[in-house]
Amino acid sequence: SQFTIALLLELCHKIGHHDEAVRAGRWQTCGSFCFWDTPQVCLEGKTMGIYGFGHIGRAVGRIAKALGMNVLACNRSHCPEGEEIAEYVSFDELLRRSDVLSLHCPLTEETRHIIDAASIAQMKKGVTIINTSRGALVNTEDLITGIKDKKVGAACLDVYEEEGDFFYEDFSGHIVQDDKLVRLIAMPNVIVTSHQAFLTQEALDS
């Protein structure tokens, strides 16, 4: 849950980018007491949609609510704790109303490619999609098309549809990157991380 929100906040403020800008001297030479060169986004009042509202999904919802976001949840079952955090809605309503859509469900035949061209078409223009759950929940080609068409405003991915095939050795022994990962990396409104959302020592110890 912490990593999911960290990805979202990085999108909002591009903290890493601005840290590099200061180190490069851009703030010091800009002629102003403050410096930024990307839009700064306020989350308060925006809607966080969470697909999969178990332990992790509810933890994301609590943080999003603390940030002033409206929280929607789609889950097979409802619970009193969840009802205190979010409004339970259908999947179609989740797609229509969410400014940010975060995935927190297992991969099954039912959930495989739950984010595809058809579901993206139902979303708000400019939606942000976050996946720290299972890569194959998202059809990567359809996501790339959605980003190119500006239907999807941004994406944060810590897991990938064909993760095991992203890196392999060619005949000369060199590591080769899968074409889909290369195309995602080239997009400025996409954050790609290295399957690390679960790697805090506390999580590993629990």
Rg of the chain over all Cα atoms, to the nearest angstrom? 18
Catalytic positions, please? Answer: 134, 163, 195
- Helix, strand, coil % (nearest 5) of the chain? 40, 20, 45
Largest CA distance in the chain: 57
Q: Closest Cα to residue 94, out of 102, 82, 83?
A: 102
Tokens of 3: 């990593």
Q: What is the rounded CA–CA span in Å between residue 88 and residue 74?
A: 6
